[in-house]
Copies of this chain bind each other. A is one copy, B any other.
Amino acid sequence: MSETDRLLENNEAYAKEFDKSGLPSPPAKGVAVVACMDARMDVHSMLGLKEGDAHVIRNAGGVVSEDALRSLVISQRLLGTEEVILVHHTDCGMLTFKDEALKDAIEADTGERPDFPFHAFSDLEGSVRTSIERIKENPFIPRKDSVRGFVYEVETGRLREVV
């Protein structure tokens, strides 16, 4: 039995107790969270979010990539969110490698070199600031009064504000 099959069994149990039908599509709290994909972060638990409350955008690093910007534009313009919470975290995998070294390894393994950036970073707080700047500079995101960046401490469960 695969892990996927086990998780589908969990979903059966979730569906049996499900009482969240009829929630509207626009997030009730008007918030979009951008966070790293890291397994140690349960964004809903860490922020006390419930189904229906907030958009959650996640990728490797929690960096504000082009795709995160695409998602934020849709979140604000079509679904009415007004606040952004950006979350990177301590002990992030993105701090442990360099783009060029990963590309070298992949090329050695597959015979083909990735032509896209992996967005590894060496300065955690600096990366939060860079990502926040990318949101603030983007001409297509209309609401920027509350765009705040944090480091989540995997050691304590606490969000520490950076910018």
Contact = CB atoms under 8 A, between A and B. Distances in A.
Contacts of A15: 156-159
A55 to B, nearest CB: 4
A112 B132 CA distance: 21
A45 B48 contact: no
Q: How many copies does the complex hold?
A: 2
Contacts of A8: 159
Interface residues on A, range: 35 or more
Nearest to A45: B14
Interface string A75-109: 10111000101000001011011000010011001
Contacts of A3: 29-31, 83
A20 to B, nearest CB: 7
A11 interface: yes
A47 B6 CA distance: 9
Interface of A: 2-4, 6-8, 10-15, 17-18, 20-23, 25-32, 37-60, 65-71, 73-75, 77-79, 83, 85, 91, 93-94, 96-97, 102, 105-106, 109-110, 112, 114, 116-119, 139-140, 142, 146, 148, 154-159
